[in-house]
Amino acid sequence: MSRVGDGGPAVRRLAEWDATDLLALAEEYDTPLYVIDRDRVAENCARLREAFPDADISYAVKAHTGQAVLRTVREAGLDAECASAGEVERAFEAGFTGNRIRYTAVNPPGRDLDRVVGRWQANPELTITVGAADTVDRLRDRGFDGRLCVRANPGVGAGHHEKVRTGANAKFGIPIERVADLAEAWAAEFDLVGVHAHAGSGISGDDLTAHRELVSRMGDLAREVESRGGGLEFVDVGGGFGVPYRSEEPPLDLDAVAAATREALGDVAGRSPAGCQAELGNVDATLSIEPGRYVVADAGVLLTRVNTVKEARDATVVGVDAGMTTLLRPAMYGAYHAIRNLSAGVDSDTDGEPNATGDRETVPVTVAGPICESADVLCEERPLSRPERGEVLAVGNAGAYGYEMSNTYNTRPRPAEVARSGTTVRLVRRRETAADLTELER
């Protein structure tokens, strides 16, 4: 198995967040509280631009749709890849223009197509990516004849969990062996601008073999489409670049990923950055990627307060005010997030876990939320400085799919969110109230 080495850029670990600053935010804004560092978002965007200087990079908006994040991404020069009509609206609100927005439709509801086609009529440079011939029929019925990208199902997927491996899942894209025929037919009716595929989410160095295979198949597809007279502006090989959630996991080596991507596409000859072109054999098209998690994961933490400490038969259960409605990933994917007791005043290692040098005893604890479900735990048997009621815990790598997947199960309002840049902190999403949850009821 190919593996990316340890030479990648440093990732921001939980221990690198200033405990005093985070405790002050918890005191001022209450908990649960999401904290997003806009400076780190900008740094991650710059790192991607450096590794892929000739590529078209679009941020996968679904990772975090907050306006503070979207504006930071736009200012950093990345475009927006949107998975829904709502995300398209958010992108426009954040200042993206139509030529910097791609809408990737997955079994889109009619109202989504109505809204996006309406936006396209006023912004004809907007691109729509389709993953089914049926979607093209529905677009045609709405009068769309603009910029079309075709999503292929390459038959190979990767990612941190089976639920996010999209490349071989029948739900996503048109079987790659059928795409060239359809693209040839659609090129006569629409402005065919690209082909697209996505392996999955949270791809690690261990998944590089699958990534290479997907990219290679997309290169072959691009050449076939070109051979039939269908010139392409871009070949989009997706994103899904992972970040290390555990201390023993090295940062993803973006330079190695970029080199592997160019090699797998086939006979890539770099052009000037101004042209942003990569020659794919006999296909003159832009390499396009769409990272999401990599941009925002380590730019966010979740703060939560301890309300209960219980000595159960086989575990010390620490109850907190954040649960699976606040951060769903542990319950949904069994995902690991580093957790740190900010109030304990102990030194921590690079993963945010306490060292034995602290004054307080370190004990294995299960951190559980307030939701009436056994899956509502943030960790089990995790060594932490023994938490006490009222103390604040920080949950790391919460910037991607944290707030986005939050929900109101058990009628629990969603948390507040603050964004910081330098020394400036701003409340960017107020805390929901019970009244907010019943406002739409009749």
Q: Is 329 marked as binding a ligand?
A: yes
Q: Is 432 marked as binding a ligand?
A: no
Tokens 């160095």 belong to residue: 205
Cβ burial 119-147 (10 Å sphere, 16+ → b, else e): bbeebeebbbbbbbeebbebbeeeebebb
Pairing of strands 278-280, 101-104: unpaired
Q: Is 231 marked as binding a ligand?
A: no
Residue 30: CA count within 13 A, CB half-sphere = 8
Q: Is 142 marked as binding a ligand?
A: no
Among 436, 433, 432, 415, which Cα is nearest to 36's? 415
Q: Is 292 marked as binding a ligand?
A: yes
Among 307, 318, 250, 298, which Cα is nearest to 395's? 298
Q: Is 230 marked as binding a ligand?
A: no
User: How far is C-alpha 356 from the geometric centre of its chain's CA atoms?
Assistant: 34
- For the chain, the distance separating the N- and C-terminal CA atoms, rounded to the nearest angstrom, is 57
Beta bridge partners of 379: 367
Q: Is 250 marked as binding a ligand?
A: no
Q: Is 293 marked as binding a ligand?
A: yes
Q: Is 290 marked as binding a ligand?
A: yes
User: Could you tell me the two tokens for 39?
Assistant: 């400076």
Confirm whether 82 is a catalytic residue.
Answer: no
User: Could you tell me the two tokens for 367?
Assistant: 């951190």
Measured distance CA(28)–CA(431) in Å, rounded: 13
User: Could you tell me the two tokens for 225?
Assistant: 């489409």
Q: Of residues 45, 82, 372, 379, which has the active-site annotation? A: 372
User: Could you tell me the two tokens for 56?
Assistant: 């078209």
Residue 47: CA count within 13 A, CB half-sphere = 22
Could you give the residue numbers annotated as active site? Answer: 372
Positions at the binding site for substrate: 293, 329, 333, 373, 401
Positions at the binding site for pyridoxal 5'-phosphate: 240, 290-293, 401
Positions at the binding site: 240, 290-293, 329, 333, 373, 401
